[in-house]
Structure 1
Amino acid sequence: MKLAHRLLVVLAAWCLLMPSVLLAQSPQNEPLRVGSKRFTESYILAEIVAQTARQAGARTELRQGLGNTAIVHGALRSGQIDVYAEYTGTIAQEIVKDASKNTLTDLNRALASQGLAVGVPLGFNNGYALAMRRDVAQRLGITRLSDLAQHPELRYGLSNEFMGRADGWAGLAQRYDLKARPQGLDHGLAYEAIRQQHIDVMDIYTTDAKIDYLGLLVLQDDKDYFPHYDAVLLYRSDLPQRQPAAWAVLQSLQSRIDESAMIRMNAQAELQGMDFAQIAQRFLQSDTKADAAAPSSNEIAKSHSFGALLWRRLAADDLGRLVGQHLLLVLLSVGAAALIAIPAGILLFPHARLRALALGIAGVMQTIPSLALLAVLIAAMGVIGRAPALVALTAYSILPILSNTCAGLAEVSPGLRNAGLALGMTKPQLMRWVELPIAMPTITAGLRTACAIAIGTATIAAFIGAGGLGERIVTGLALNDSALMLAGALPAAGLALISELSFELWERTLRHRQLRRSA
C-alpha cells in the first residue's frame, strides 16, 4: 500500500505542475515545434528546419517520427507542432482531398479554413514510384508500369500508407489494370525483402538512397498516374506572426535542396549510419548544395561492421533521456492502474457478477492491438504524444492488477474472516489487518506482470511521439537499421529484467513477513 500512496503523490504533483508549465509557455518564449513523419527523408528535413531556426536564436522542439500523414496533419492542426516538411501531391490528395489543387496559391486557399498554410519550396521533387530488381525486370522485359499487367505472378510488397492513400495502390491498380494482391510491409523492411527476393515489386520514394545501391529499376509511369510531389513547408498560418525571426530565416531554405543533394543526405543516413542532426549540420554549413560525396564502398563496409555499430548505437548520448522517458511512462501508467484496479478489486470482490463483468471489460481492453488503441485515443483526445500513450498503457495494466487483487482476496479463508469479525473488527479493519496482508503477494504478482507488459508496450508509444526507448526502434525501422532497433530493444529488455528482480526481492520480503506473522 505504501507504493500506491507514493505513486498517488507523484501523480498529484504531476497534475499540479502541468498547468504552471503550460502557463509558462507564453507566445514570447514558446519553442518552434518541428514535426516529422516516420521515414528517413522526413527526419533529415525536420533537423534542417530546426537547425535553421536556431540560427535566428529560436528555441526549437523536435517531434520526430510521429507517423503517417493523418497523424502529423492532426498534430499540426491541434497546435502540437508548428511546421513540418510535406509534399504538394500529398497535400492535394490526402489533406485538401482535391487533386486539381496543384499550385501553392490553390493549396493555400484550400488550407485557410484549417488554419494552415504552405510555402518555402525546398527545391526538389520526391514522388512515389514502383521499382523492381533490375535483373528481374530485364529478364521479364519490364520497363513501364503498363508491363506489370502481363505478369500477375509478381509478388508486391507495398507500404501500408501507400496502400491506403488516395493516390496509392487502389487508383494505381485501376489505372493500369493490375490484379495483384499486395502484401503490406514497412517501407524500410521492404528494401531488405526485395534484396533477398522475398518480393518482386515495391513502392519507393524517388529520392531513396537504396535505389541505386540495391540495383533497382524505377518503372516508368507511362500513364502519368502519380502527381508531382514538390517538397514544401506546411505550417500553421499564424507562425510568421508568432515567430517572425524564425520564419524569416526559414525562407533561406527556398530552392536550397536539389534532388541530388537530398539523395546524398538520405544515403548518409541509410548507408553510412550518420546521425540525422549531423547530416543537417553538414548540409547547412556547406557553401554549396552538394557538400557530401556519395558513400564509398569502404565507408559502407565500415558502417556495416555490426558489432561496432551496435555498441555505438547503444552508447549514444540519448540513452539516459530515453530511459528516463520510458521509466516515466511505465511508472505513471502502472501507478495509475494500481490506484484504479486495487480499490476496484476490493469493492468488487464480494459481488461475483459485477466482478466478472469488470474483468471481462478489462480483458477486452487487453485484446485491442496497441497501435489501434493509440489511433483511437488520438482521435478521441485530439492530441498526440504522452497523454494518449499513458491512457493506453494504463488500460493495458488494469487487467493483471485487478484479476490478481480479486484472486488474492479469494485466498483468505472464511475461517480467518469469521475470527476477525468475532474479535470485533469492522470490515475496513479486517481488510486492513487480515485480508490485504494475505492477498499482498498475489497483488504484487499482478503489479509485476503489469510492469512487464508496460515496459514492452511503451516502446510502441514512440510511434505517436511519446518518447522512450521505442524512438530508437521506430527510427531503426525507418532506416532498416538492425543495430539501432537492437539499441532500443536491449535497454528495454534490461529494464524488464531489473523490474523482475526488484519484484522478486519484494515478494520474498512479503513472504518472510507472512512467515514471521504465522510463527
Structure 2
Amino acid sequence: MAVSPISRFRRAAALTLMLIAGPAMAADPVVVSSKIDTEGAVLGQMILQSLEEAGIPVENRLQLGATSIVRNAIKAGEIDIYPEYTGNAAFFHDQADRDIWKDAGKAYQQAASLDKEAHNIIWLEPAEANNTWAMSVRGDLARDNNLQTLEDLAAYINEGGAFKFAASAEFVESDSALPAFQDAYGFTLGSDQLLVLSGGNTAATLRAAALNDNDVNGAMTYGTDGGLDALDLKVMEDTLGVQPVYQPAPIVRAEVLETYPKIREVLAPIFESLSLETLQRLNGEVAVNGVPAEKVARDYLDSLARD
C-alpha cells in the first residue's frame, strides 16, 4: 500500500523530534548547589569546576540557602548535587539521639544507607575534616604546652594552667556541648574561667581568644572555621568522640549519578584530600582575606593537579 506524502512527512517529523530530544535529554546539565555559608561556597565551587573540567555539563545554583532549603531542593529534584555533612543526616532522619553519629565511619554508612532508601540520594566520598562543635586554644598556648587533644587540655587545666574560654550561652549550657566535654575529659571550668557571649557566632569567640580579651585564650568554634588558621588558633582533637561527626561529602541524586557515573571518580580524590587544616586554610582565604570562593577553589584544584 502506498504511503501518502503527509504520512511520510509525519514520520520524518517524529524521527527528527526523537533525534533532537534524545541527545538533549542525555546532555541535561548537572545542577550544582551549596549552602549559603563560606565552606559551602568553597566546596560547591570545587564540585562545579571539577565536573565542568571533566566534560560534564553543569548549571550553577551555588549558595542557594540554608540547610533546609538545599535539602528540600535535592529531594524535589530541583538541584542534583551539593556538599552536605554526615551528622546532619541524624536530624534529617530523626536519629539524633543515637551514638552512631559520633563514629566517623558508622555515621557515613548510616547517612548513606538512610538517604539511599528514603530518597534515592547517594553519598559520595567524604572529606577527612570534621566540622563539628569544638574547643580551640591560642596557638602560642598550644605550642608552649604541647596541647594537641582535649585530654592534653584537661591535664593542663587540672594542673592549674591559666585558661579562660569564650563561648556562647548555648555552648556553655547545652548538655551536649561544654558539660559533655567536661564530663568526658574530667575537667571543670568555673564561672571566672568563662566569657559568655550573646549569640552563637564563632567569629566573636575566635576574635576574643585571638586578641586575648580579658585573658581569654580558648574559644568555642567549629572544626573548620576559616578564622582558626588566620588567627593562629588550634582545635583540640576530640579523641573520645564526644561530639557527632560532621564530615562534608557530596550528595547526588541516584539517577544523575547513573547518567554521569564519572562524577564519583572525579570528586573522590578531591574530597579525600580535604583535611581539617586544609579546610580551615581555604575557608580563611574567603572569610578573612576576602578572596572569592571561586578563585580559592580554582587555586586548590590546580595545586592538586600539579601534585
Pick the TM interval, shorter chain.
0.5 to 0.7
- Counterpart residue type for residue 185 of structure 1: G
Contact 2:50 2:267 in 1 (8 A): yes
- Aligned-residue offset at 1:45: 0.7
Q: CA–CA distance in 2 between the matches of 1:153 and 1:262?
A: 26
Contact 1:156 1:199 in 2 (8 A): no
Q: CA–CA distance in 2 between the matches of 1:31 and 1:288?
A: 24
Q: String of CA shifts for 1:102-151, please: whole Å, max 9, x gaps.
A: 25433322222133221223444444312244678999x99239959x99
**Cα separation, partners in 2 of 1:219 and 1:121, compared to 1, 3 Å:** closer
Decide which of 31, 36, 39 is 2:37's aligned counterpart.
39
Q: String of CA shifts for 1:231-255, please: whole Å, max 9, x gaps.
A: 3212223221244454553345352
Q: Which residue of 1 aligns with 2:235?
A: 218
Decide which of 253, 278, 293 is 1:261's aligned counterpart.
278
* Residue pairs, 1:405-420, within 5 angstroms: none
Decide which of 50, 53, 66 is 1:52's aligned counterpart.
50
Q: CA–CA distance in 1 between the matches of 2:302 and 2:64?
A: 25
The percent identity for this pair of structures is 21
- 1:207 is aligned to 2:224: yes
Q: Which residue of 2 aligns with 1:121?
A: 126
**Cα separation, partners in 2 of 1:131 and 1:287, compared to 1, 3 Å:** closer
Q: Which residue of 1 aligns with 2:80?
A: 82
* Residue pairs, 1:65-214, within 5 angstroms: 66-67=65-66, 69-91=67-89, 93-96=90-93, 97=95, 98-100=98-100, 102-111=106-115, 112-133=117-138, 143-144=153-154, 155-157=166-168, 169-175=174-180, 176=182, 183-196=198-211, 197=213, 200=216, 202-214=219-231
* Residue pairs, 1:109-508, within 5 angstroms: 109-111=113-115, 112-133=117-138, 143-144=153-154, 155-157=166-168, 169-175=174-180, 176=182, 183-196=198-211, 197=213, 200=216, 202-219=219-236, 221=238, 223-246=240-263, 249-253=266-270, 255-287=272-304
Report the aligned-residue RMSD: 4.1
**Cα separation, partners in 2 of 1:204 and 1:136, compared to 1, 3 Å:** same
Q: String of CA shifts for 1:145-181, please: whole Å, max 9, x gaps.
A: 9959x999955237x8x79xxxx94412442367886
Structure 1: any 5+ residue segments left out of the alignment?
A: 1-25, 291-519
**Cα separation, partners in 2 of 1:82 and 1:199, compared to 1, 3 Å:** farther
Which has more strand, going by share of residues? 2
**Cα separation, partners in 2 of 1:29 and 1:286, compared to 1, 3 Å:** same
**Cα separation, partners in 2 of 1:79 and 1:188, compared to 1, 3 Å:** farther
Q: Which residue of 1 aligns with 2:5?
A: none
Q: CA–CA distance in 2 between the matches of 1:231 and 1:107?
A: 12
Q: CA–CA distance in 2 between the matches of 1:202 and 1:39?
A: 20
Q: CA–CA distance in 2 between the matches of 1:145 and 1:90?
A: 32
Q: String of CA shifts for 1:295-354, please: whole Å, max 9, x gaps.
A: xxxxxxxxxxxxxxxxxxxxxxxxxxxxxxxxxxxxxxxxxxxxxxxxxxxxxxxxxxxx
- Counterpart residue type for residue 100 of structure 2: S
- Aligned-residue offset at 1:33: 2.1
Q: CA–CA distance in 2 between the matches of 1:262 and 1:289?
A: 19
Which structure has more relative contact order (CA 8 Å, sep 6+)? It is: 2
How many residue pairs get aligned? The number is: 255
- Counterpart residue type for residue 109 of structure 2: T
Contact 1:133 1:215 in 2 (8 A): yes
Look up the SS of the partner of 1:64 in the other structure: strand
Q: CA–CA distance in 1 between the matches of 2:210 and 2:129?
A: 27
- Counterpart residue type for residue 83 of structure 2: A
- Counterpart residue type for residue 32 of structure 1: V
Q: Which residue of 1 aligns with 2:63?
A: 64
What TM-score results when the alignment is normalised by the length of structure 2? Answer: 0.64
Which has more helix, going by share of residues? 1
Rg: which structure is higher? Answer: 1
Look up the SS of the partner of 1:232 in the other structure: strand
